[in-house]
Structure 1
């Protein structure tokens, strides 16, 4: 049967690509909520198209109020859920190979928004199930394909679905990387604030500060407006800076503007970036500023988030475990206007971290510095043991078709199954290919799409027979 399934997938490659094109042509960026359409027209339209597709291939389908649609292989006890999403991120006008919603196949790649994230992987899973059905392979337990429409904006689609249905004994999402991601760090993304009375003192002071736009991005840009400090003093401080962040200084009517240009990166891997906020705060701390509440608050933030401290040492939360690695901390946004300060940081927490040894410690440190941390718990880490039969089955199927050694991995980011007790991420990307996910000219390698369908079919047969 294995050879028959493989031959079916190979012979239906063009149909697979045409079905993917059908989904990619639908602009499924989240829109305005409408009656019966919680995420707007596009997501509802793509769910309807996928539902029609699954029904056409003989699966029992159900629409969960236009949050999620599902396709069941049979009516037996459910063993495996496969979760993929059909919503996509917004697009720009800078695509060069094709327009975002006009899919094309060129040189073994299918281009278009969602081809890699996550419409292509969804089609690979569908064709795995189709191949098993049309080759007449009996399954003693059910596999369900769950197609959602809000992964890019918080996964409230799954909140709705799992408010109705129970989690399967095993679940995977093809919305990440091969081989298997079985550990996802926890996340503590919180704001902190301080407020001040306007004191009217003379002398060196920071009038305003702004840096960053998104908490989950290492900020590449920041600026501060300073008064009461000679231009030459600021220029000397800039000349002596060794952060690698590029500073520019200009005089304005209200003061001296200092602009910092760093390097952006994802908050889960802050070592690839260069934090402009932290570098600028460190520079300001070197200037002769008056001893007042405003300047001291900025200095306190710099002491808690010093440039280059990516592991929370200054916050008192540095930690590491063998299987999930080190904690990371990124100060992503900071705004200050002379009367109030607000910052937002993003920490990715290993399995050994929890609210007692992370959240409470940071709150206490900030309180010591006169800053107030937003209340609420962290999102806990997620872990499915690598030695489990489920994970080992996935790895074996990956090795069989990829020819590469499989291993279970930990990541700092979160996937579509982070909140599922028994869920892992499995495919369809690989480290050696940049699919331009979330970027211009997004694509999926056709060979990888076909290989993924074979891998998924192998897994389904092993787990559900």
Structure 2
């Protein structure tokens, strides 16, 4: 079988050299989104990376096309297209804390370092290398595979929406911008804003200001409030008890006739709230134990504590918890909250499974809030669950390719809370390039990729393309 040919092709040291050289060319382009310029909808950086990606594909003999500097395409042959592979060449900003130059691909001890080596320039090169291998090995195909190189994945995926507004979907599609083996379910999203208003109050002690969180899709690492009419001594005992129970330490300081309370949590992605410690919920836990005056602000804080108790990342108290074997549990992150003298506003991030729907999620949430006098102020639609059946030809074929070359025969198709490039593409799945147990440090300093794993991904993609397009 042709598996031996694939092994031999990518086990050749020349393939390793070619892979690293190609990734290095793309990493060298700082492709962070910038201000739009004429002919450059996402700024000069992404446009320059696309030009380099198309140049590379052209040098390797593929027919290429630039679609308005939004998406570049590379075709393996001139037959009818059966498979789209969606990668992206834009990257997030480098940030601080690097031990190497983020825009120079550095190889050390079998690892590559540089912004984009894993997300997603390295995987784009893996897909191109797979297409190159098929051509050079002469493996027979009856259909075309088209690689789409996008330039706006990190900032909203307007590039892919633009491309598909003018071109048809392919029968099969996958994006090498996530994890192996195959992600076939991406949970739906629900992100309402809600709150309550009241007349100016004078009762003491009461909370006169509160603020926590900074982004909807991040577990809030910090939250703080000001309580008028209390002293640090009246807060510190309860703060110690709550901190011991929640592992969210508090800093309590006097400010005139008031006390400022700061809660330190642990940030995490909203899709995995169990990995963090919610500072807003921790602060609400403490406020529920303080001797606050009976007034509307106090009642609102108690209601929020009741509906979003610390550690409830499943929406049980809100009455929206759901779980199924296919896609796992609903997850909830109380992401943002602000309170002033006349009201409060808040927002949460829910990732819901196949078994959730408008009745048992959106309407149930609204009813729970309403029982506490809290109203939804911005009511977005529920983003639908993206699900490709585990027994579909695409998923089973990709699983076979993964198992053939990885040796991992125990893994099953995955469901995630996050969204990928294919969330709105019918029948699309995420497929690699991150192997189980490996941390690529995406979006962080010293982003990394394992060279041998990238070469294994090349083998997997080569096999998958042949199986789907033969």
TM-score range, shorter chain: over 0.9
**How far 1:122 sits from its partner (Å)?**
0.5
1:169 aligns with 2:171: yes
Task: Kindly report which structure 2 residues correspond to 1:74-223, keeping only aligned pairs within 5 A, or say none.
Answer: 74-96=77-99, 98-199=100-201, 201-223=202-224
Residues 202 and 228, structure 1, Cα contact 8 Å, conserved in 2: no
Question: Residue 292 of structure 1 aligns with which residue?
Answer: 295
Q: Deviations over 1:180-234 (max 9, x none)?
A: 11111111122223333323x1311101111111111111211110011243321
CA distance in 2, matches of 1:453, 1:174: 11
1:359 aligns with 2:365: no
Task: Kindly report which structure 2 residues correspond to 1:41-440, keeping only aligned pairs within 5 A, or say none.
Answer: 41-96=44-99, 98-199=100-201, 201-241=202-242, 242-253=245-256, 255-373=258-376, 374-405=378-409, 406-440=411-445
Q: Secondary structure at the match of 2:310?
A: coil
Q: Deviations over 1:391-427 (max 9, x none)?
A: 1111111111111114211111111111112011111
Question: Residue 449 of structure 2 aligns with which residue?
Answer: 444
Residues 185 and 415, structure 2, Cα contact 8 Å, conserved in 1: yes
CA distance in 1, matches of 2:345, 2:160: 31
Range 163-172 or range 224-233, more displaced:
224-233
Provide TM-score, normalisation by structure 1.
0.96
Q: Show structure 1 runs of 4+ deviating over 6 A.
A: none
CA distance in 2, matches of 1:364, 1:75: 56
Q: Deviations over 1:271-299 (max 9, x none)?
A: 12111100111211222222222222222
**How far 1:377 sits from its partner (Å)?**
0.9
1:462 aligns with 2:458: no
**How far 1:15 sits from its partner (Å)?**
1.5
- Structure 1 residue runs of 5 or longer lacking an equivalent are none
CA distance in 1, matches of 2:469, 2:357: 36
* Pairwise CA RMSD: 1.5
Provide TM-score, normalisation by structure 2.
0.95
Q: Secondary structure at the match of 1:251?
A: strand
Q: Deviations over 1:142-162 (max 9, x none)?
A: 111011111111211111111
Q: Secondary structure at the match of 1:297?
A: helix
**How far 1:58 sits from its partner (Å)?**
1.9
Range 427-436 or range 237-246, more displaced:
237-246
Q: Secondary structure at the match of 1:216?
A: coil
Residues 26 and 42, structure 1, Cα contact 8 Å, conserved in 2: yes
Range 352-361 or range 234-243, more displaced:
234-243
**How far 1:32 sits from its partner (Å)?**
1.0
Q: 1:253 to 1:229 in 2, by over 3 A?
A: closer
Q: Secondary structure at the match of 1:226?
A: strand
CA distance in 2, matches of 1:420, 1:63: 21
CA distance in 1, matches of 2:200, 2:39: 50
**How far 1:254 sits from its partner (Å)?**
5.1
- Structure 2 residue runs of 5 or longer lacking an equivalent are none
Residues 203 and 295, structure 2, Cα contact 8 Å, conserved in 1: no
CA distance in 2, matches of 1:366, 1:75: 57
Count, aligned residues: 463
**How far 1:82 sits from its partner (Å)?**
0.5
Residues 231 and 258, structure 2, Cα contact 8 Å, conserved in 1: no
